[in-house]
Homo-oligomer: A and B are copies of this chain.
Amino acid sequence: MAKAATSKTGSQGSADSFPEDRIVEIYRTEVLARVMDERCLTLQRQGRIGFYVPLAGQEAAQIGSGYALDPSDWIFPAYRELGLALVRGIRAKSLIDQFIGNSADLTKGRQMPNHYAFREQRFVSASSPIGTQITQAVGAAMAAKKRQDPIVTITFFGDGATSSNDFHAGLNFAGVFAAPTIFFCQNNGWAISLPREKQTLSPTLAGKADAYGLPGVVVDGNDVRAVYRAVREARARAIAGDGPTLIEAQVYRFGPHSTSDDPSRYRPEEAVRKAREHDPVLLLQSELIRNRILTKDSDSKIWEELKAEVARAIEAAENTPAVEPLSFFDDVFAQPTPTLEEQRASFDQLLREGVLRP
């Protein structure tokens, strides 16, 4: 099934070739993601941020697809897409502001870590409920098509999300309305403790595209070039009016599901060790060193530079003031209702009377 689907893909789409001239930049972005991931896990352990969802193992899938997009394309992410945010030029400080929920956080301290929204970068607001972004990406693509904007929407989700209601509705609507959407599934082998094999009997996830009359493609998500090409092809097809594509990037989640998770309860360390042999960041690193594009030294410098950059970002974010105590009453509606105004005023009074402390 996946084969048939892949061949469907091969036959269409005029993809541009991979931008080899930007390979070091791409690598740097992967390293930045890795560095941030490690730092953020520590921050969480130290209680400096409340929660964190790591992406280790999924850098090439995210960054390869990010590079294949146009800046005008709209991204509908899940919660694990830090690498993708970096490709979009979102600064480390902005991400850490969000993890802390301080006054510079664009989500105004309202969301858990990793649930970003960066309108300027067309990085749409993430939520926790699994799969909901999928139909939304389709609707936005239908809207872009109606306005004849030459863009695509792309939505990121996991293997678990293929079981969601929105996966089913989203792919079906996208097919029927030939929406210019890319469905990018990062199959990292796990939905928390449920292994991919128990999520569905379907031999591949890409093969599910058939059920909606759509092409489906499996790619090695540790191969940044393969990911890039698959997304370029899907994008070209969407822009040409030929509709959506489902891409399954096969990766492995190296870390816990989140900082609340203890994977030793459900998977042997051995499996992780084996998967780490295909670590996308290290694969690219050794390739670049092998091909003399980097030396061990210039590579170390990259890591050091980026570690320093992240350290500065953390410091700056931690020195940013907290959110304003009354701000959680804002943005429920464009204009507050009288009910909300009254509640805000009564809360304010409790603060001013000293009944509550901010």
A interface vs B, CB < 8 Å? Answer: 1, 163, 165, 167-169, 172, 175-176, 198-203, 207-208, 210-214
State in angstroms the CA–CA spacing of A357 and B205 once bound together. Answer: 60
In the bound complex, residues from chain B placing their C-beta under 8 Å from that of A210 are: 1, 202, 207, 210-211
**Which residue of chain B is the closest to A178 with respect to CB atoms?**
B201
In the bound complex, residues from chain B placing their C-beta under 8 Å from that of A201 are: 172, 175-176, 212-214
Q: Contacts A1-B210, A202-B210, A211-B207 hold; do A172 and B176 have CB atoms under 8 A apart?
A: no
14 A-B pairs with C-beta separation under 8 A: A1-B210, A163-B172, A165-B169, A168-B168, A172-B201, A200-B212, A200-B213, A202-B213, A203-B213, A207-B210, A207-B211, A210-B210, A210-B211, A211-B211
Most B Cβ at <10 Å: residue of A176, A198, A211: A211
**Which residue of chain B is the closest to A201 with respect to CB atoms?**
B213
> How many copies of this chain sit in the oligomeric assembly?
2
In the bound complex, residues from chain B placing their C-beta under 8 Å from that of A175 are: 200-202
In the bound complex, residues from chain B placing their C-beta under 8 Å from that of A172 are: 163, 200-201
State in angstroms the CA–CA spacing of A172 and B168 once bound together. Answer: 11
**Which residue of chain B is the closest to A202 with respect to CB atoms?**
B213
In the bound complex, residues from chain B placing their C-beta under 8 Å from that of A200 are: 172, 175-176, 211-213
**Which residue of chain B is the closest to A216 with respect to CB atoms?**
B211
Q: Contacts A201-B212, A207-B211 hold; do A169 and B176 have CB atoms under 8 A apart?
A: no
In the bound complex, residues from chain B placing their C-beta under 8 Å from that of A208 are: 211
State in angstroms the CA–CA spacing of A212 and B202 once bound together. Answer: 5
State in angstroms the CA–CA spacing of A232 and B165 once bound together. Answer: 31
Determine how close the nearest CB of chain B comes to the CB of A100; give it in whole angstroms.
37
**Which residue of chain B is the closest to A174 with respect to CB atoms?**
B201
State in angstroms the CA–CA spacing of A275 and B281 once bound together. Answer: 60
Most B Cβ at <10 Å: residue of A201, A202, A213: A201
Contact of A169 among B163, B203, B211 (CB under 8 A): B163
